[in-house]
Amino acid sequence: MELQDEKPVVLITGCSQGGIGHALAREFASKGCHVVATSRSKRTMQDLEQDSRFFVQELDVVSDESVKNCVENVVEKFGRIDVLVNNAGVPCIGPLAELPLSAMEQSFNTNIYGPIRMVQAVVPHMASRKKGKIVNVGSVTAYIPAPWAGVYAASKCALHSLTDTLRLELHHFGIDVINVVPGAIRSNIGKSSLSSYNQRSVCEGYGGGGDEEEPPSLVLLWYLFHHHGNLVPYARLC
Ligand SMILES: NC(=O)c1ccc[n+]([C@@H]2O[C@H](COP(=O)([O-])OP(=O)(O)OC[C@H]3O[C@@H](n4cnc5c(N)ncnc54)[C@H](OP(=O)(O)O)[C@@H]3O)[C@@H](O)[C@H]2O)c1
């Protein structure tokens, strides 16, 4: 069914409460858009689910099937997708010489292949209408090399580069592609960094976790402060 109104239909990934996607969902809704708020679990978007301005869907960007189902549901409900915001992302902290490749793969799968999976599912719909906008959420860390942030930064570098190519490739189909480069913004990402680091340290047995917890290194402290404390307040979401 194609909606007759002119309000843009905006699909956002990674809308868990407390994060950037959640704030974006609220902002788009306040501007009168139809907002499809998605995340891996509806549990993390309970407040949005109770608000009729949002079409809340579970979506895991590392799963082809989940992406396909979600995009089908949105097209069935609204008949179109005007804006895709590829916001979902995960941190990956640890020294490159020690990080398990599986941790890197998981990060790349979410931060690089996730947005591309979404683009491949959404572009045919946008191209058929010769209209659309794709917003990829990169990171300032892509420009600032920092110890322990190598994998995350590399994933965002790749996303920036892919965004530039997509912009050239999709221009002829009426699709505009932009890269958003946030600085440090208060969200759940610091907690996610810490919990994935601790999980890995217990499994792999390197410093900072386990029963006899060592004090975290200065680099880890820097990273957590940077991401928890709005040390660089380019923007601020509470
Ligand atoms: N906060 C900052 O300082 C900062 C700076 C630069 C860039 N960014 C970028 O901004 C974006 C949003 O991050 P945030 O800071 O708002 O962190 P956040 O609060 O942790 O939000 C990340 C979101 O991504 C979701 N997500 C993770 N893996 C997913 C998957 N496989 N499929 C679907 N959703 C998934 C998370 O869902 P769950 O709740 O299920 O984990 C959560 O909703 C990310 O791309 C991040 O890299 C953040």
User: Domain coordinates of the chain in residue numbers?
Assistant: 9-219
CA 54–ligand 1 middle distance (angstroms): 19
Coil, helix or strand for 180?
strand
Mean pLDDT score of the chain: 88
Q: Model's pTM, two decimal places?
A: 0.89
Burial of residue 12, with CB atoms counted within 10 A of its CB: 0-12 exposed, 13-18 middle, 19 or more buried: buried
Tokens of 229: 């404390």
- 210 vs 168, 202, 226, 233, CA distance in Å? 48, 5, 24, 33
Please give the DSSP secondary-structure letter assigned to residue 149: -
Please give the DSSP secondary-structure letter assigned to residue 44: G
Closest ligand 1 atom to 141 CA: 6
Closest ligand 1 atom to 44 CA: 39
Residues 77-131: pLDDT tens digits? 999 999 999 999 999 999 999 999 999 999 999 999 999 999 999 999 999 999 9
CB 34 within 8 A of CB 9: yes
- For domain 9-219, give the CATH number: 3.40.50.720
The stretch 46-50 carries a mean pLDDT of: 98
Catalytic center residues: 152, 156
How close are the terminal C-alpha atoms of the chain, in Å?
A: 37
CA 88–ligand 1 middle distance (angstroms): 4
Pairing assessment for the beta strands 83-86 and 54-58 based on DSSP bridges: unpaired
One-letter amino acid at 31 equals: K
CA 22–ligand 1 middle distance (angstroms): 10
Residues 128-187: pLDDT tens digits? 999 999 999 999 999 998 999 999 999 999 999 999 999 999 999 999 999 999 999 999
- Hey, which of 56, 163, 187 would you mutate to test ligand 1's pocket, going by the most ligand atoms within 8 Å of its Cβ? 187
